[in-house]
Amino acid sequence: MKIISVVGARPNFMKIAPFINAIRKHNVNTGNEAIEHLLVHTGQHYDERMSKVFFESLGIPEADIHLGIGSGSHAEQVGNTMIAFEKVLREERPDWVVVVGDVNATLACAVTAKKEHIRVCHIEAGLRSGDMDMPEEINRLVTDRLSDLLLTPDRLSNENLRKEGVPEEKIRFVGNIMIDTLEANRQKAAALDVGTIIRDNLLESRTELPDKVESFSILTMHRPSNVDRKEVLEPIIDFLLDEVCAREVLIWPIHPRTRKQLERFGLWDRVTAEPNLILLHPVNYYEMLKLNMEANTMLTDSGGLQEECCVLGTPCMTLRWNTERPITLREHGGASILVGNAVDKIRRAYKELSQSTRKPQRPELWDGQTAQRCLDALLEAQG
């Protein structure tokens, strides 16, 4: 069997690493027919800190094929990926194309594979936010409609697919592959030192640090709905500086998009002047996991961090009005509260969660063994 796996952006890297390891283990076991595997990196995230560092830290092998797509509008990224990936498929002719998550590369490569009559497997299928203004929701819907094998992270996702008319034989509940990566790297992350992480990743614009960094919260924020309009971003910044930083240290690994918008809106100087706000470059997986392990609270618009907070028990404010991962919410036993980008809701949740204690939760099959179940499902479907 020949498989091409596709990654395009940082959220994909944590999902593909355990799948590649499962293939390696399969191939070294005596009596198993070796799987030929190629890794294609579309290059949707091409910044060294956003891409290369994650490959190295997670032990992902260098991509066999790098499409070098880079930035651009959604249409440009999807179109350019399809053009480049079509050439790869016609040369390699795999049995399966495996796509993960919901980035533009996921959609583009699924469509291209189906047009080339190649079967598609979607890892992390069935997630739904119900928000058609969210580009990722369109990517999820189209990818799942085209996929021959849909591997879901939770039973809520199974129900989403059934309601959409997906045949039962295409659906396999395998668990959350992101948690495989967390469990495989938990000990290494725990051994790291928070102070070292800060010093190694500190933005050049900051030379002074607070006296104490033992107690802190974390912020990550990059979605257009939060950072692309001044009337939304500025009140959030006011709250962070005037209320969160007045109470505790806030560590912010800042996304390039967010920094650009802060500079554009004239907010950058205020942010860099706050002594209790530690601005970092994007950190690697181990470093972010360590920060999450130690944080008092998490403020984030990242889906992956919602999932990690659930398992680690970190009280989490999700800076979105909806989520495709409802199993991470408190009403489903998780650690997260949806707060959107309304400061009043963020403030109430922050006050509530600041008094909370960690309550780790482990949804069904979030056990660190999902990658093997993914591979088993593929082998069964191959026949």
Single out the residue of 102, 99, 95 nearest to residue 7, CA to CA: 99
Residue 43, domain member (yes or no):
yes
Place of tokens 């960094």: 213
State if pTM tops 0.85: yes
Q: Do both 118 and 200 map to the same domain?
A: no
Which two tokens mark 282? 């994007």
Shared domain check, 267 and 154: no
- Is 195 in the same domain as 166? no
Look at residue 199 and tell me if it is in a domain: yes
Residues 301 and 336 in one domain: yes
37 is catalytic: no
Closest residue by Cα to residue 154 from 189, 126, 116: 126
Do 45 and 125 sit in the same domain of this protein?
yes
Identified catalytic residue from 222, 255, 281, 332? 222
Q: Are residues 124 and 216 in the same domain?
A: no
Same domain, 212 and 243: yes
Give, for all 383 residues of the chain, the pLDDT tens digit: 999 999 998 888 889 999 999 999 999 986 668 999 999 999 875 555 556 666 677 777 788 999 999 888 999 999 999 999 999 999 999 999 999 999 999 999 999 999 999 999 999 999 999 999 999 999 999 999 999 999 999 999 999 999 999 999 999 999 999 999 999 999 999 999 999 999 999 987 666 677 668 799 999 999 999 999 999 999 999 999 999 999 999 999 999 999 999 999 999 999 999 999 999 998 989 999 999 999 999 999 999 999 999 999 999 999 999 999 999 999 999 999 999 999 999 999 999 999 888 999 999 999 999 999 999 999 999 97
Tell me if 360 is assigned to some domain: no
Domain containing residue 257: CATH number: 3.40.50.2000
Q: Are residues 191 and 172 located together in one domain of the fold?
A: no
Q: Tokens in use for 107? A: 């959609």
Whether residues 142 and 208 fall in one domain = no
Same domain (yes/no): 15, 156: yes
What is the domain count for the chain?
2
Residues 313 and 276 both lie in one domain: yes
In a domain, 198, yes or no: yes
What secondary structure does DSSP assign to 330-376, as a single string?
GGGTSSEEE-TT-HHHHHHHHHHHHT--------TT-SS-HHHHHHH
State the residue range of the domain holding 214: 184-354
Q: Can you tell me the distance from the alpha carbon of 109 to that of 146, in angstroms, rounded to the nearest whole number? A: 11
- Based on the fold, state whether residues 378 and 297 are members of the same structural domain: no
- The answer to whether residue 252 is domain-embedded is yes
